[in-house]
Amino acid sequence: MPAPGELTFVAPRGAVKPPRHLADLTPAERRDAVAELGEKPFRARQLSRHYFTRLTDDPADWTDVPAAARERLAGALLPRLMTVVRHLSCDDGATRKTLWRLGDGTLVESVLMRYPDRVTMCVSSQAGCGMNCPFCATGQAGLDRNLSTAEIVHQIVDGMRALRDGEVPGGASPEGGPARLSNIVFMGMGEPLANYRRVTGAIRRLTDGDPDGAGLSQRGITVSTVGLVPAMLRFADEGFTCRLAVSLHAPDDELRDTLVPVNTRWKVREVLDAAWAYAEKSGRRISIEYALIRDINDQAWRADLLGRLLKGRGAHVNLIPLNPTPGSRWTASRPEDERAFVAGLQAHGVPVTVRDTRGQEIDGACGQLAAAERV
Ligand code: SF4
């Protein structure tokens, strides 16, 4: 029986366990692992600093570790977890999507988006997704497996390294140059709260300070969920200050039951109540994600209903023009319907943004790149 937050709705296809990696372990577990290899416990801090702060997992760079011990420590604690299949860039290079092949051949993806004032990275928490939303390419392909904590963290460490080394142009100056990662969104492949233990482990690794972790701010991290209520309530008790984004996509149960099938288990009202519980404990506003789909969920009366549900709650709505997937009957709303939807929410005083759809020309909708690679 899975614990709350470890819910899987479709059996994972892949059962291969990724190798243990430093980033899977707490600082205490790292010290134990190093001691088991016959090394002094302080080597764990050295390795952690190389990986999380200096962003190198190449033993040749570890000049503070005796040469004889480097390969052994690297083999045991920093095995290669994934390789780049390809990078795809658009927006003059300021958006870079990476397709990864994991050790068992599974494909996942991450996206770096550099803006004048910030850099956001979108990461995958699962290979595929078991939530089965009918408008989503990833959902149609099903769930391969959960990513390990280290497989999640490594997407970000690699992105930090690419930014530091000036590989992603853009930003305030035309040349770009080095940059720092400011935001992480768990909005790539997968439902993060269905891989609860590993995702929360990744948040700790990313936000622990030097040398234990990457020293990023929890306030810059957004975890999105379709509404796994028990996991949301558990998440509220973690003491995190991350932002929680709820992929609502419909304000009424009748439609949401079809657009987000997990709604047959937890209804709109329960999902929103769990979101408000998180907002209260974390002190963060909730984001409501709503993919606008032509003639499906973009009617004025639905904007009004959504506005009434969110009024006075301090939540912010992100409207996402649907990026149609090949062969899908779902498509983006007409501009006039989008404008009317925005106005309907604003009439209730609900803040709303129409999301920038960066990366569309490189198959930016979640899962599309990996789905294209599979065929
Ligand atoms: S929309 Fe999100 S939750 Fe739904 S199937 Fe796609 S990746 Fe999974």
- Identify whether 191 is a catalytic site residue: no
Encode pLDDT of 212-268 as tens digits.
Answer: 999 999 999 999 999 999 999 999 999 999 999 999 999 999 999 999 999 999 999
Q: Residue 270 is inside which H or E element, if any? A: helix 268-282
Cα distance between residue 309 and residue 184, in whole Å: 28
**What pLDDT is attached to residue 365?**
43
Pocket of ligand 1, candidates 138, 199, 232, 260: which has the most ligand atoms within 8 Å of its Cβ, to mutate? 138
Q: Is the CB of 291 under 6 A from ligand 1?
A: no
Structure tokens at 309: 């549900």
Position 339 scores a pLDDT of 97
- Please tell me the predicted confidence (pLDDT) of residue 205: 98
Q: How far apart are CA 361 and CA 171, in angstroms?
A: 20
Determine whether the shortest distance from the Cβ of 216 to ligand 1 is under 6 A: no
Best CA proximity match to 314, nearest among 349, 268, 344: 349
Residue 14 tokens read as 């892949």
131 lines ligand 1 (CB under 6 A): yes
CB 322 less than 6 A from any atom of ligand 1: no
pLDDT at position 93, please?
A: 83
pLDDT score at 367: 43
Q: What is the pLDDT of residue 375?
A: 32
Cα 202 to chain center, whole Å?
A: 11
For the Cβ of 226 lying below 6 angstroms from any atom of ligand 1, the answer is: yes
pLDDT recorded at residue 94: 86
Ligand 1 and 143: CB distance under 6 A = no
State pTM to two decimals. 0.91
Which uninterrupted H or E stretch holds 206? Answer: helix 196-207
Contact predicate 302/253, CB 8 Å: no
Question: Pairing relation of β-strands 183-186 and 287-292?
Answer: unpaired
Q: What is the pLDDT of residue 191?
A: 94
Cβ-contact 303, 345 below 8 angstroms: yes
Residue-level pLDDT at 303? 98
Q: Which residues of the chain have pLDDT under 50?
A: 1-11, 361-375
pLDDT tens-digit series, residues 136-186: 878 888 999 999 999 999 999 999 999 999 998 876 665 668 999 999 999
Q: Using CA positions, which residue lies closest to atom 5 of ligand 1?
A: 139
Report the C-alpha gap between 109 and 373 in whole angstroms: 11
From 39, 109, 151, 191, the catalytic residue: 109
Distance CA 203, CA 28 (A): 17
366 CA distance to ligand 1 middle (Å): 8
In ligand 1, which atom is closest to the CA atom of 135? 1
Q: Output the CA 66–ligand 1 centroid distance in Å.
A: 46
**R_g (Cα) of the chain, nearest Å:** 21
Query: Is position 109 annotated as part of the catalytic site?
Result: yes
Centroid of ligand 1 to alpha carbon of 190 (angstroms): 6
Output the pLDDT for position 6: 42
Cis peptide before 116 (omega within 30 of 0): no
- pLDDT (0 to 100) of residue 264: 98
